[in-house]
Each structure stands twice: as structure tokens, then as C-alpha cells.
Amino acid sequence: AQSVTQLDSQVPVFEEAPVELRCNYSSSVSVYLFWYVQYPNQGLQLLLKYLSGSTLVKGINGFEAEFNKSQTSFHLRKPSVHISDTAEYFCAVSNAGGTSYGKLTFGQGTILTVHP
């Protein structure tokens, strides 16, 4: 079984400040890791993913995340946020060893609010 914990349910930050959204996971098998963003009344949009290779992954809208296998973490960062980044962010994992068959396991979400 896999589980994902997003350590902060809400993160308020001022515009142009840096932000880090924290994600830890638990799994007995290798995983693929994802960050999604959800704007109000919308579906989920993929920000970035880690499948293999370099542990620093760059995504859309200036976001990046670092996979740390020893700490089982996949924290999301952005050096300078904009008002338009206000949304809910979800960390997710899938079973890399096969047979996940379409299943993503999600964290509970972090609401990022960017203040002017």
C-alpha cells in the first residue's frame, strides 16, 4: 500500500516571495511522483513528474521539485510566486513496478494563497 502526506494544508505567502510545498510518501515499492494543480471548479493539471534520472525536476509555470529517496520526499518549490499561482496543489504517487493500472494515490492537498 502507498500513502502520501502533504505536511501543510494551507500556505499563505506574499507575491514575489519563494514558496515550498512539502510532500512525503510511504511505499514498499518504487514509485513515480507527480504534482498537480487545481484551480477552483476545474480539473487537475499536471505541473511536473519524476519517473527516473535527475532528482531535480522542472515543470510548468516556473515550478520545480526535488526527489529525495532517503527522506521519501518530493517537495515542490517556486522562487517567486504570482497572484495567479493561488490554487490547490496535490502530490501523488503511482506504483512504478507495474500493475498500478491507472491508479494514482493523492495527498490531501495544500491550498496556496498568494497575497499582494
Partner 1 sequence: KAGVTQTPRYLIKTRGQQVTLSCSPISGHRSVSWYQQTPGQGLQFLFEYFSETQRNKGNFPGRFSGRQFSNSRSEMNVSTLELGDSALYLCASSLGLKATTEAFFGQGTRLTVV
What the block records as the C-alpha cell of 31 is 514509485
Give the footprint of partner 1 on residues 32-51 (CB under 8 A).
32, 36, 41-46, 49, 51
Closer Cβ to partner 1, 70 or 99, answer by number? 99
For partner 1, the binding residue among 87, 109, 110, 114 (CB under 8 A) is: 109
Closer Cβ to partner 1, 1 or 116, answer by number? 1
User: Are 47 and 61 in contact, with CB atoms under 8 Å apart?
Assistant: yes
Angle among Cα 105, 48, 23 to the nearest 5 degrees reads 50
In the numeric block, the cell 520526499 is attached to 73
Q: Does residue 77 touch partner 1 according to CB under 8 A?
A: no
CB of 82 vs partner 1, minimal distance in Å: 23
Q: Mask of contacts with partner 1, 80-99, x by CB under 8 A?
A: ----------x-x-xxxxxx
N- to C-terminal Cα distance for the chain? 41
Q: What is the C-alpha separation between 89 and 65, in angstroms, rounded?
A: 13
Q: What is the C-alpha separation between 95 and 20, in angstroms, rounded?
A: 25
CB of 2 vs partner 1, minimal distance in Å: 11
List contacts with partner 1 (CB under 8 A).
32, 36, 41-46, 49, 51, 90, 92, 94-109
